Amino acid sequence: MTNDNILLKISNVRKRFGEVLALDDVSFEINSGEVVGLVGSNGAGKTTLLRLMSGVYRPTSGSVTLGDQTPVHLMRDNLGVVPESTGLYSRLTAWENIRYHSRLYGIDDSVSWKRTLKFAQSLDMEENLSRYTKGFSRGMRQKTALLRALAHGPKVLLLDEPTAGLDITSARTVRALVEQIKQEGGTVVYSTHQLFEAQQVCDRIIIIHNGNVMANGSPDELINENECNTLEEAYVALTQEKARIRFEDSNNDKGLTKIWNKLFRPKTPSTSSNSEVIESE
């Protein structure tokens, strides 16, 4: 019997990079309307898993499917992705970045503008939509990237460390937006290494350590099942094996990061007839 509420399914996924086994037999499901946290230390496999879920990587074995068991790489228009690097075009305004991205998905400007304005109000970004992103702070760039990911109306929003490096106010604003999306029935996968943050915003937490899923449940379930008093104690109990070196920091991964960005920015726009390249940051 199938569960019609399952939106994203990861089944027996393994991912290798040469001799490195980044993910080992990972399986779980994401239900429609959930906010699910991927929690783990640097090198745990969170970013690799997100790239598999977004269709940027293909699994070495196993499958990642969306909706009716369609491979996720064939349904990227159903995904909104905010990677660690925002990849904004610095010589475009915030709205021009968002509009360009939405047009790639065939979304009418009026539709993407309506959605952008709605979420810009929540992020206190209305007055900044007409500003060039070159002078934006990290927080403003992150907010613009969130608006860009939401403008085409994705079924699933994938966030990779969405509050990393943000000030307290900006981080709270981002968490509040995730809560708003949840209240409106949206589905979010929220990758973080901050337990407190995951406990605040997520219905369910999946703990990943050295490429393995160590636990999958609500914060209360993880605490009770491990006979602990706090989520931090439960996490420590589940991840006692020494964390491996973060292989994502290798030079090879820098090239893969470019692919991660380019798949959601297929080509560079121009501002003149001679196709002058617009810098991104």
Say which CATH number the domain at 81 has: 3.40.50.300
Secondary structure (H, E, C), 102-135: HHHCCCCHHHHHHHHHHHHHHHCCHHHCCCEHHH
Q: Is 23 domain-assigned?
A: yes
Q: What is the pTM of this model?
A: 0.84
Q: Is 274 domain-assigned?
A: no
Structurally, how many domains does the chain consist of? 1
| Amino acid, single-letter form, for residue 200 | Q
Q: What is the CB neighbour count within 10 angstroms for residue 90?
A: 15
Q: Is 225 domain-assigned?
A: yes
Helices (H), the chain: 46-53, 94-104, 109-123, 138-150, 168-183, 195-201, 219-225, 231-238, 251-262
> What's the distance, Cα to Cα, between the start and end of the chain in Å?
47
Q: Is 280 domain-assigned?
A: no
Q: Is 277 domain-assigned?
A: no
From the list 177, 209, 168, 217, the residue with the least C-alpha distance to 37 is 217
Q: pLDDT tens digits, the chain, 281 residues: what are they?
A: 346 788 999 999 999 999 889 999 999 999 999 999 999 988 889 999 999 999 999 999 999 999 878 999 888 889 999 988 888 999 999 999 999 999 998 999 999 999 999 999 999 999 999 999 998 999 999 999 999 999 999 999 999 999 988 889 989 999 999 999 999 999 999 999 888 899 999 999 999 999 999 999 999 999 999 999 999 999 999 988 766 665 554 445 555 555 555 555 544 444 433 333 344 55
- The domain containing residue 20 runs over which residues? 6-260
Q: Is 87 domain-assigned?
A: yes
